[in-house]
Structure 1
Amino acid sequence: MKHLDGVSEAKVNFGASKLTVYGNVTIEELEKAGAFENLSLYPEKQKVLPPSKEPFWKEHAAVLGSLVFVLLGYLSQFLYGEGSLITIAAFLGAILIGGFSLFIAGFKNLASLEFDMRTLMTIAIIGAAIIGEWSEGAIVVILFAISEALEKYSMDKARNSIRSLMDIAPNEALVRRNGQDILIGVEDIEIGDIMLVKPGQKIAMDGLVANGVSAVNQAAITGESVPAEKVPGDEVFAGTLNGEGLLEVQVTKRVEDTTIAKIIHLVEEAQAERAPSQAFVDKFAKYYTPAIILAAVLVAVIPPLLFNGDWSEWIYQGLAALVVGCPCALVISTPVSIVTAIGNAARNGVLIKGGIYLEQTGAIRAVAFDKTGTLTEGIPTVTDYVYMKAEKDDSLASAVAALELRSQHPLASAIIKKAEEDGINYSQVQIEDFTSITGKGIKGRIAGVTFYVGNPRMFAEMLASGLSDKVQTLIREMQEQGKTVMVAGTEQEVLAIIAAADEVRESSREVIADLHRLGIEKTIMLTGDNRDIANAISERTGVTEVKSELLPQDKLAAVKQLKEKYGNVAMVGDGVNDAPALAAATIGIAMGGAGTDTALETADIALMGDNLKKLPFTIQLSRKTLRIIKQNITFSLGVKLLALLLVIPGWLTLWIAIFADMGATLIVTLNGLRLLRVRPDKK
């Protein structure tokens, strides 16, 4: 395709079955260039129906036809002898029918001095025919065709991990326009359209719930199978499954910009990225193939020239060496594993943005965590509400919530949420002279009484006798537990002490323990919070070290120190505030809520469900991928070496050679497909 007029560059993404062409050329011209491979091309954004399945006999007509001629050849050999013209014609027919597409590719490669699998096979089959080994040449053609078919089936199975993502979102949706409900294709839906999603239907576009309440299964995006409750104002994503309620969704993104579209694009790009082991294999194969051709030539000519060997016998051995030396298994050993692993991770809510990151994750020795939004929920929650005069005082709680409703303080929402949970009516409370006291708190008059809510320092300065010992002890105990303390009262007395904290994620301690079990030597929490809060969170999560009161540049320095000591370091953050530290780490891992563009763009890996439990799964998947790649490379080279050693006693045949090559290719492919079975721990 690169040689077509108007084409400046063409690139193939092996894992995603995608061709990118730069220049001015038609689809028909591209298909013609790929005619010998029966390529069917269509634009990336064009929705196409899957091709209808050909009948088995039609799909494999060449192989079946070749097999018929081989059987006729052996029958003729039995009746008329090996040298009969009928026998030779039958085997020649088998070679031409079964190897036609192979020969076209082989001769083209030979003309441009590109020595790949097809080139070597073409030379070997023609050589077998020249020295009169017609039957073996025909068998090699059939076995190679079977090998190609099985390899294609295996690779398609690996690619299906991405194709299944592509098929998640519907192609059309019910949209309300001008008072009418019409069914239209997703490419015609515009931002702002109201989309109707009935119970049990998949959501076709990203948007915000405008009306209705339902539970939505977001497993396709986040990897979590527990449905999420959706109410008006909540975000929903294309490809997720609506539960029992009717939803009206206002569309916020075009079809090519939806979260699922971004995920698919990122995963395809990741599969095209070359992992270090793949780069090594490609470079190795570049020198390995010419070396095998040279070795085959030497096998064919040295024994007859120097040791009076039989030319026919040793040319045959040389051809067998040529076949067994094909680097097919070696070359496919890494990409099939990378494609399968990245696809499996995406289906389980983990976006890995390239083979290099997949490999590096397996070598991680230390993991640094941001605190807020990573080890904790990132949302402050009221943990203590201590009334000083009574066990419970709803009127005081109502007054505090009414004051906080008018406040801009970060903890105001936590107090209001607590009031709502307790059924406190605060929205109708009349407040006069509301004032925000900078750096200290707020005040306002309710039913003639001025109430204050603020930090302990404000009350210590305001009260004539200061804070009592009892109040000071309570405040100190709460602060030592890592909580932020507020005091509510009047100018004369303290009426309540309220403590709030950023709650630790339920999964944090379990995840840290899992990482230690996996052999991670160091887990460290990096936070801008004060020492007391940081230590309290550290104790509850089980990290091995904590560094507090850090600015962004301090986090960056801490990550650099970790890299100097441990080499490979991962940084887990929210993808927004931790960008410098994420970039400095060997692997930057973002806690990406579904649809978080920043997480998708800044990190090397994104945990889509904001689910920290996916981190041990990612490390396990990476390590298993590395193991399988090493197994595949070792096995591929080992089989080649073993088969080539059979040349010494003259035992290597074309049959053994093709079985060694085909068998090795199938085994490394199937071994790579085992990565589809790696699943997150369901604990």
Structure 2
Amino acid sequence: MKQALKERESEKSACCSGGATEVKDESVEGESCCSSTAEKAEETSSCCSSTPEASGNISSCCGSGDDESAVASGKESAAPLNSVEYRIQGMDCPSCAATIEKSLKKRPDIESVQINYSTGKMTVAANGASAHDEIPKQVHKLGFEASQLYRGRGTETYKVEGMDCGSCAMTIEKHLGKNPNVEDVKVNFSTGKMHVNHSLQPREIIKEVKRAGFDATLEEKGQSETSDIKRKGIPTTTLSGTFLILGFILSFTGTPENIVTLLYAAAIVIGGMKPVKSAYYAIKSGSLDMNVLMASAAIGAALIGEWFEGAMVVWLFVLGNALQNRSIERTRDSIRGLINLAPSEANVKSGDTLISKPVEEIDIGDVIVIRAGEKMPLDGEVMAGSSSVNQAPITGESLPVDKGRGDTVYAGTVNESGSLEVTVTKLVEDTTIAKIIHLVEEAQEQKAPTQAFVDRFANVYTPIVFILALLVMVGPPLFGFGTWGEWLYKGLALLVVACPCALVISTPVAIVSAIGNAAKNGVLIKGGTFLEKAGAIQAIAFDKTGTLTEGQPKVSQVASFEKDSEALLSIARTIEAHSTHPIAKAIIDYAEERNIGTKPGEDYRTIAGKGAQATIDGLEYFAGNPKLFREMGVQLGNMEEQIDTLQAAGNTLVVVGTRSEALGLISVTDTIRDITVRSIEKLKSMGMSEMVMLTGDNEGTAKNIAGETGIDRYFAELMPEDKVSAVKQLQDEGRFVAMVGDGINDAPALATADLGIAMGGAGTDTAMETADIVLMADNLEQLPHTISLSQKALRIIKQNVWFSLLTKFAALALIFPGVLTLWMAVLSDTGAALIVILNSMRLLRQK
């Protein structure tokens, strides 16, 4: 079941360069091999990145030492293919990514390059590890910084400042990737983090990042190396702006024109150093990014004598980038807040003393002590003490949860009252909060359909407008329509308008903001694709037990016909002793409360969807629904009327008997969750056309619960495979369907639905791994918020896209009448990008 859902989410499990996806054969545990996706098969070799994360417990058939990978790529090479992920800094639009990609592909030792602008990550497959030594240098020459990315233990993580779009991250990855001493580097634009495996000193890595135009800080065990992270002296933007303003003021005071021109020139040089440097390397690699366009406009303005225009272009450009960087940092804080939830040290019990240790040095089985008011440093099981724990950082639950001996606690949650002794059950890298962070970072790397479309549009739009600008500069004056200076100016304005910055960041920033908001509220959305799908859902199918109901049924009535009730319960308890079904647990608990023991039994069996059986004293006994006994030909006789009455009242019935007679029945009821009705009402008010319940219970129980909860439609007496058919039926009726279940028993239905939503992810690793969206708390309270957030994200994305396009087209229309000046063109571009970012950030504040 898990594999079925994994295949459905192949886009999220890519481990190979060039879009290759990981295909797991569960029949051989721990092994994985890679296969290229069809669309990348021609240009990509299937080779996995050898990060600790990927290689820790997995033997890959695509290892760097396998010569077959070279053959698979269609090339013979003396060195094996080595795929490395990089973090790129300095990219402020997708065209930066294209610049880096084109430049690196010209190298004969590089097999494939893939760059994700939104996340600032780059994956490079090269012939031999030594090829990656030069990648960071080459990326640096392009004006960006590249560093290898690792998520495992022993790798260094750097916080990078100055990235304003995914192409900046790609620049950094390419730059550091060229350094022979850098084994692997990955940069995540969304989180502003760079993971590097290298043999250099941290200061050297920081310097390399700085050469690409960005700042890096080493993060290690909660400490940061601040060398070179803060710029000394006056910021470039301020210095450039000062010369610009001074020149503008002096131009009205009779100051000689040469002095005013020198001031404007100083503003251009100071502010334009980084853009010109980046533009040089972009042109060298055959790419058009915003640095090329802006640098061309500024230099062109100076050449035709428009020094003020040139200085204004440069200053507005660097100011806009600075504001964008600051705004994007706000969106990254949503993830950094999660990362900082768990403390870096814990008090480990050693005899009668407590020793403070870094969480990285604590092993499974160690006992840690958490005092009142402290945060849980690691996941574990309470072995002594009782307390009230605030789990909101993990599950989003507003009320604290009581914890005692045997209960599970999670890293990052807050111990509010008593002291607890906890046995550690997971290492620091495997805790629930660590998995959440990892999943959220991966989710922010996934391109939503809208973003993919926008990127394709930008790839076509930019070169077309660039060529049009060249024609505008040359064409009209050649045919005698106006002067060269007039049309050169209009062409330069057109170059600036060619930057699709606002458009290309319209979607990724909104997605990062929405996913970050959801994560803080206990909801994991595993990518932009699923965020968009959630906003378009029309019908929701709910599993009954544990979703709409408490999932903890209780025995309400026992009716015995051939034996006394204690004997009946003893037989029932014996049969159900080896079952994990909630109804079986209810019968066992009921019998235990009355001190009714089991009988000697054997040949325990579960009858899927119907009940269970066991052999007691040489005779086969059964405990199951009435349908099971009818299929065996057992006459229920006088029980039929009582069965109908109890089922109509919403009870689930367990008949106990043999192959020849029914001995009695046990009535079980499951209470409806307090928040179920409120959640369904909210969902209906948000436009959900149909609420559907899927259950294996009888018609009467299903009808009764549907009426109490406000469910519009139900499918009763379903076997597990029947839930898949029910979901397909809803889809065949033309509805976009979400399935809500526990992520384990309902995996086939979750995979079949257009959107799979699992509940209770905090206690279920499978749910976190399989579903598209995970509600960390074990209730429906978070579902309306998730749908509302997704709907708002879709609206904001549409607003951003239309605003960006209309602004761009309006600017284009105003160029030719001469209304739009060069500095106004820059202002419209950078201003639109900033407005788009600020609009997207509204998603961070939604409660």
> TM-score, normalised to structure 2's length?
0.69
Match of 1:63 in 2: 237
Residues in 2 aligned to 1:263 and 1:647: alpha-carbon distance in whole angstroms: 49
Match of 2:712 in 1: 544
More helix by share: 1
Match of 2:808 in 1: 640
User: Does 1:571 pair with 2:739?
Assistant: yes
Residues in 2 aligned to 1:661 and 1:537: alpha-carbon distance in whole angstroms: 56
Asked if the contact 1:443–1:453 (Cα under 8 Å) also holds between the matched residues in 2, the reply is no
Asked if the contact 2:490–2:816 (Cα under 8 Å) also holds between the matched residues in 1, the reply is no
Question: How far does the alpha carbon of each residue in 1:254-274 deviate from its partner, in whole angstroms, 9 at most, with x for none?
Answer: 000000000000000000001
Asked if the contact 1:453–1:486 (Cα under 8 Å) also holds between the matched residues in 2, the reply is no
1:85-484 equivalences under 5 Å are 85-383=258-556, 408=576, 411=583, 413-414=585-586, 426=594, 476-484=644-652
Asked if the contact 1:441–1:455 (Cα under 8 Å) also holds between the matched residues in 2, the reply is no
Asked if the contact 1:341–1:676 (Cα under 8 Å) also holds between the matched residues in 2, the reply is yes
Question: How far does the alpha carbon of each residue in 1:216-259 deviate from its partner, in whole angstroms, 9 at most, with x for none?
Answer: 00000100120011010000000000011110000000000000
AA aligned opposite 1:329: A
User: Does 1:49 pair with 2:217?
Assistant: no
AA aligned opposite 1:68: T
Q: 1:106: how far off? A: 1.5
AA aligned opposite 1:77: S
Gaps of 5+ in 2: 1-135, 137-173, 605-611, 630-634, 657-663
Of 507-516 and 274-283, more deviation after overlay is shown by 507-516
Question: How far does the alpha carbon of each residue in 1:410-448 deviate from its partner, in whole angstroms, 9 at most, with x for none?
Answer: 65643676699xxx7x55x8x79778999799999xxxx
Asked if the contact 1:400–1:453 (Cα under 8 Å) also holds between the matched residues in 2, the reply is no
User: Does 1:74 pair with 2:248?
Assistant: yes
What SS does the aligned partner of 1:572 have? strand
**Matched length:** 644
Residues in 2 aligned to 1:196 and 1:669: alpha-carbon distance in whole angstroms: 44
Residues in 2 aligned to 1:663 and 1:652: alpha-carbon distance in whole angstroms: 15
User: Does 1:561 pair with 2:729?
Assistant: yes
Question: How far does the alpha carbon of each residue in 1:62-84 deviate from its partner, in whole angstroms, 9 at most, with x for none?
Answer: 122222322332344334556x3
Asked if the contact 2:652–2:698 (Cα under 8 Å) also holds between the matched residues in 1, the reply is no
Question: How far does the alpha carbon of each residue in 1:546-589 deviate from its partner, in whole angstroms, 9 at most, with x for none?
Answer: 11222232222222222222252111111111111111111111
AA aligned opposite 1:583: A
Match of 2:191 in 1: 16
User: Does 1:4 pair with 2:172?
Assistant: no
Question: How far does the alpha carbon of each residue in 1:500-542 deviate from its partner, in whole angstroms, 9 at most, with x for none?
Answer: 2122222223222322222222222222223232222222222
Question: How far does the alpha carbon of each residue in 1:331-367 deviate from its partner, in whole angstroms, 9 at most, with x for none?
Answer: 1111110000000011111101010111111111222
Asked if the contact 2:647–2:699 (Cα under 8 Å) also holds between the matched residues in 1, the reply is no
Residues in 2 aligned to 1:570 and 1:513: alpha-carbon distance in whole angstroms: 17
Q: 1:591: how far off? A: 1.2
Aligned to 2:826, which of 642, 652, 658?
658
What SS does the aligned partner of 2:671 have? strand
Asked if the contact 1:332–1:665 (Cα under 8 Å) also holds between the matched residues in 2, the reply is yes
Structure 1 residues 34, 289: CA separation in 2 closer, same or farther (over 3 Å shift)?
farther
Q: 1:210: how far off? A: 0.3
Structure 1 residues 648, 618: CA separation in 2 closer, same or farther (over 3 Å shift)?
same
AA aligned opposite 1:62: T
Q: Which of the two has higher C-alpha Rg?
A: 1
Match of 2:773 in 1: 605
AA aligned opposite 2:479: L
User: Does 1:36 pair with 2:212?
Assistant: yes
Residues in 2 aligned to 1:324 and 1:291: alpha-carbon distance in whole angstroms: 12
What SS does the aligned partner of 2:224 have? coil
Structure 1 residues 51, 507: CA separation in 2 closer, same or farther (over 3 Å shift)?
farther
What SS does the aligned partner of 1:249 have? strand
Q: 1:639: how far off? A: 0.9
Match of 2:763 in 1: 595
Greater RCO structure (CA 8 Å; 6+ sep):
1
Q: What is the CA RMSD across the aligned residues, in angstroms?
A: 3.6
Residues in 1 aligned to 2:393 and 2:786: alpha-carbon distance in whole angstroms: 17
Residues in 2 aligned to 1:559 and 1:413: alpha-carbon distance in whole angstroms: 29
AA aligned opposite 2:707: E
Q: 1:290: how far off? A: 1.0
Structure 1 residues 9, 299: CA separation in 2 closer, same or farther (over 3 Å shift)?
farther
What SS does the aligned partner of 1:40 have? strand
AA aligned opposite 2:538: R
Aligned to 2:841, which of 648, 673, 681?
673
Aligned to 1:504, which of 672, 682, 700?
672
Structure 1 residues 52, 518: CA separation in 2 closer, same or farther (over 3 Å shift)?
farther
Residues in 2 aligned to 1:264 and 1:647: alpha-carbon distance in whole angstroms: 46
Residues in 1 aligned to 2:438 and 2:636: alpha-carbon distance in whole angstroms: 60
Of 322-331 and 531-540, more deviation after overlay is shown by 531-540
What SS does the aligned partner of 1:378 have? coil
Asked if the contact 1:397–1:419 (Cα under 8 Å) also holds between the matched residues in 2, the reply is no
AA aligned opposite 1:13: N
Residues in 2 aligned to 1:572 and 1:286: alpha-carbon distance in whole angstroms: 38
Q: 1:31: how far off? A: 5.2
Asked if the contact 1:456–1:487 (Cα under 8 Å) also holds between the matched residues in 2, the reply is yes
AA aligned opposite 2:239: G
Aligned to 2:696, which of 520, 528, 533?
528
Asked if the contact 1:13–1:271 (Cα under 8 Å) also holds between the matched residues in 2, the reply is no
Residues in 2 aligned to 1:52 and 1:168: alpha-carbon distance in whole angstroms: 25
Residues in 1 aligned to 2:341 and 2:565: alpha-carbon distance in whole angstroms: 48
Residues in 1 aligned to 2:228 and 2:390: alpha-carbon distance in whole angstroms: 32
Question: How far does the alpha carbon of each residue in 1:173-201 deviate from its partner, in whole angstroms, 9 at most, with x for none?
Answer: 11102432111111011100111010111
Q: 1:54: how far off? A: 8.1
Question: How far does the alpha carbon of each residue in 1:595-647 deviate from its partner, in whole angstroms, 9 at most, with x for none?
Answer: 31000111111111022122222111111111111111111111111122112
What SS does the aligned partner of 2:552 have? strand
Q: 1:485: how far off? A: 4.8
Asked if the contact 2:365–2:423 (Cα under 8 Å) also holds between the matched residues in 1, the reply is yes
Residues in 2 aligned to 1:485 and 1:553: alpha-carbon distance in whole angstroms: 22
Residues in 2 aligned to 1:22 and 1:306: alpha-carbon distance in whole angstroms: 59
Match of 1:624 in 2: 792
What SS does the aligned partner of 2:551 have? strand
Of 508-517 and 188-197, more deviation after overlay is shown by 508-517
Residues in 2 aligned to 1:192 and 1:487: alpha-carbon distance in whole angstroms: 44
